């Protein structure tokens, strides 16, 4: 299976959000001068930073943080981004995020960046529950699972 086949298979397996309305949580971000690269548009790495800003705000909205999701922290195992439109200095974007899937020790978050209701990027992260003291992956805490389920409508 070639790289293109892997990407297509992954795309087919991921739930597609048609609009920002599919996300219960989003934040506005204004593109900053430090986000701009030599091409005079937002550098690719900054899209992942926008995802992180939305993730941190999402967790805070539920009473958690990346270092405390109910007694343990979280650590990223995988991140992906599909770039669809350029972004420029001063653009006001909406960054939506949601928990798409919960597993015993991990959860998958999906992201969407829009400018004026047009998709500019979509992506996902796989986040592991991590015990930083013992340096190991551990099961998701029940309070976190319940809070996410209630917020996303699955609980």
CATH classification of the domain holding 72: 3.10.129.10
Q: Is the pLDDT assigned to residue 128 strictly greater than 90?
A: yes
Q: Is the pLDDT assigned to residue 47 strictly greater than 50?
A: yes
Taking only the tens place, the pLDDT of each residue in 86-108 is 999 999 999 999 999 999 999 99
Higher-pLDDT residue of 7 and 75 is 75
Close Cβ partners of 1 (under 8 Å, ≥ 6 residues apart) = 9
Predicted model pTM? 0.87
- Helix-, strand-, coil-residue percentages of the chain, each rounded to 5: 30, 35, 35
24: tokens are 């219960």
Residue for token pair 């917020």 = 151
Buried b (16+ CB within 10 A) or exposed e, 107-138: bbbbbbbbbeeebbbbbbbebbbbeeeeeeee
pLDDT at 4: 38
Mean pLDDT of the chain: 90
* Whole-Å CA distances, 77 to 6, 64, 74, 82, 107: 18, 19, 10, 18, 10
Angle at 62 between CA 154 and CA 144, to 5 degrees: 60
Range of the domain at 21: 3-152
Total number of domains constituting the chain: 1
Q: Is the pLDDT assigned to residue 78 strictly greater than 60?
A: yes
């Amino acid at each position: 299976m070639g790289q293109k086949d892997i990407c297509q298979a992954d795309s087919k397996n991921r739930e597609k959000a048609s609009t920002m309305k599919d996300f219960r949580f989003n934040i506005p971000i204004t593109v900053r001068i430090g986000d701009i690269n030599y091409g005079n548009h937002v550098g690719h790495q900054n899209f992942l930073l926008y995802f992180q800003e939305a993730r941190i705000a999402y967790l805070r909205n539920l009473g958690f943080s990346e270092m405390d999701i109910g007694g343990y922290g979280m650590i990223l195992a995988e991140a992906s981004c599909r770039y669809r439109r350029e972004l420029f200095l001063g653009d006001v974007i909406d960054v939506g995020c949601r928990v798409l899937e919960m597993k015993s020790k991990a959860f998958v978050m999906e992201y969407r960046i829009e400018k004026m209701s047009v998709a500019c990027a979509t992506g996902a992260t796989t986040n592991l529950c991590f015990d930083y003291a013992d340096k190991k992956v551990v099961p998701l805490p029940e309070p976190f699972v319940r809070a996410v389920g209630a917020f996303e409508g699955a609980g």
